Amino acid sequence: MAEHPCIYCNIEVTSRAHAIACDSCGRWSHRRHTEITHQQYMQLRSGEVQIEWFCNGCRNVDEPPPPLEIPVSPLRNLAQEDLRHGGNTTIPDVSFDLAQEYERPTPVVDTSLPDDLELNDEIPADDAVITYEIVESGTKRGAAKLISSDGYSYTKGVTSGERQFWRCSVRNKTVKCPASVKQYRDMFTSGVAGHVHPQDPGATKKMKIAKKVKELARPERNNKTYK
């Protein structure tokens, strides 16, 4: 049995094969079964680009479930059962009679909260809408970086047409965060996997300050070069 079988052809993925692992489930696939070109793959191996890739199984997680079957009416079942046994299939009239007096139900009042309780109109942080902002030249190498309002940052992954994949920037020898964001034009959707590290509430401010420092330092370095 193959130790690392390809998701699509089930052939063993060797160390010399051009292959990539799904960033969600971790299973391997030969590059020829994916949309990644040979040039992109070689840039990925050399570290020039960062590519986020998901297999077809993980991409279909957000698809809606199949429609449920329409339930059969219980009254129809009873009528069919009586008909098989020769019984009366007439359904009694249980419609609402306006002439009949009905007892007015007692309203239920919730007394668990005091009347003088002050309500806070602020939206909790966990329920707030997450927004995203792309900071050009946000990385150390001058590439774009995506910053979310909840304190996380992302680097560019693979690009497919008008779709851009971003993956969490926390990816080192000790922590490899699987969180990701999918971008389609101006719309951003967070991936299935969540973050495995704490957030940084000041990430956006720190990124903009670092970018400004780079911009101010660039002319100074150029002046020193020409002296």
Tell me, yes or no, whether 185 lies in a domain.
yes
Domain count, the chain: 2
Report the CATH number that the domain containing residue 48 is assigned in CATH.
Answer: 3.30.40.10
Report the CATH number that the domain containing residue 177 is assigned in CATH.
Answer: 2.20.25.240
Which string of b and e fits 125-160 if b means at least 16 CB within 10 Å? eeeeeeebeebeebbeeeeebbbbebbbbbbbbbee
Tell me, yes or no, whether 26 lies in a domain.
yes
Structure tokens at 160: 């497919």
Nearest to 144 by CA among 131, 154, 158: 154
Q: How many helices, marked H, and strands, marked E, lie in the chain?
A: 4, 8
Which pLDDT value is given to residue 66?
A: 37
Query: Are 132 and 211 in the same domain?
Result: yes
Tell me, yes or no, whether 107 lies in a domain.
no
Q: What is the mean pLDDT of each run of 10 residues along the chain (227 residues)?
A: 81 87 87 89 84 81 41 52 56 60 74 66 64 84 86 88 89 87 90 86 73 69 54
| Helix (H) / strand (E) containing 83 | helix 74-84
**Contacts with 155 (C-beta within 8 Å, 6 or more apart), sequence order:** 50, 139, 143, 145, 146, 166, 167, 169
Tell me, yes or no, whether 132 lies in a domain.
yes
User: Given the structure tokens 């309002």, which residue do they identify?
Assistant: 149
Structure tokens at 92: 């009694």
Which pLDDT value is given to residue 219?
A: 64
Which pLDDT value is given to residue 48?
A: 84
Full domain range(s) for residue 34: 1-57
Burial of 55 (0-12, 13-18, 19+ CB in 10 A): buried
Distance CA 86, CA 128 (A): 62
